[in-house]
Chains A and B, each alone.
Chain A
């Protein structure tokens, strides 16, 4: 069965520093997609970044990058130059089938609460 594990319940980082949020996954499928979402205190789910299992390069979106290590089944999120507005819950999620435009249910981890301090 698919499973997502986020082992860091909470993380602290100083403004302008980089931070890595860990995510490991378990699946027997060869094709799958990995997502990161941000959930601020207002509650909405904001898509950050996507990585397909066959993508050879790590995904990047502005200050967000995904450190994808397929053999270790890890998909860590790296946030560079942290800002106060980055304080939020961060969820890693996985879906069977590659391609951002494939539609299937997402399996979510339990999340990491990131606090950015001045």
Chain B
């Protein structure tokens, strides 16, 4: 059962480096969502993408964060010049066309040192 695959599972970056988080949606799913979970908090929506389109990025920080979902390959959440406050768990979820329910991946735990 190939669910939503996120890698890496754990990522350590020094302040100022770039972090790239990958999400491969379930087979047949064309919609991807990214959520961030700060320690001891619930998940907060970041961005919603379809293939080659950003549909809703209302939860994305204005600077340093970007996301893409290319025609081929996984969705990428990119964080430039990471700071300690970026340390969190980042979850990806996918759904089939816009009438499908969510499936979450296992998350990527980013630690900035």
- A interface list, Cβ under 8 A from B: 4, 37, 42-47, 50, 91, 93, 99-103, 105-111
Contacts and interface: CB of A to CB of B under 8 A. Distances in A.
B104 A107 contact: no
Contact of B42 (A100, A101, A102, A109): A109
Interface string B24-61: 00000001010100001111110010000000100100
B95 A103 contact: yes
9 contacts: A44-B104, A44-B105, A100-B101, A101-B100, A103-B95, A105-B56, A106-B102, A108-B44, A111-B41
Interface residues of B, number: 27
Interface of B: 31, 33, 35, 40-45, 48, 56, 59, 89, 91, 93, 95, 98-107, 109
A19 to B, nearest CB: 19
User: Closest 8 interchain pairs by CB?
Assistant: A108-B42, A105-B45, A45-B104, A44-B106, A101-B99, A108-B43, A100-B101, A103-B98
B42 A110 contact: yes
Contacts of A93: 42-43
A105 B99 contact: no
Nearest to B107: A43
Contact of B48 (A43, A50, A99, A105): A105
Dominant secondary structure of chain A at its interface with chain B: loop
A91 B100 CA distance: 21
Contacts of A101: 99-101
B11 to A, nearest CB: 14
A84 B106 CA distance: 21
Given A91-B43, A103-B100, A108-B43, A43 B109 contact: yes
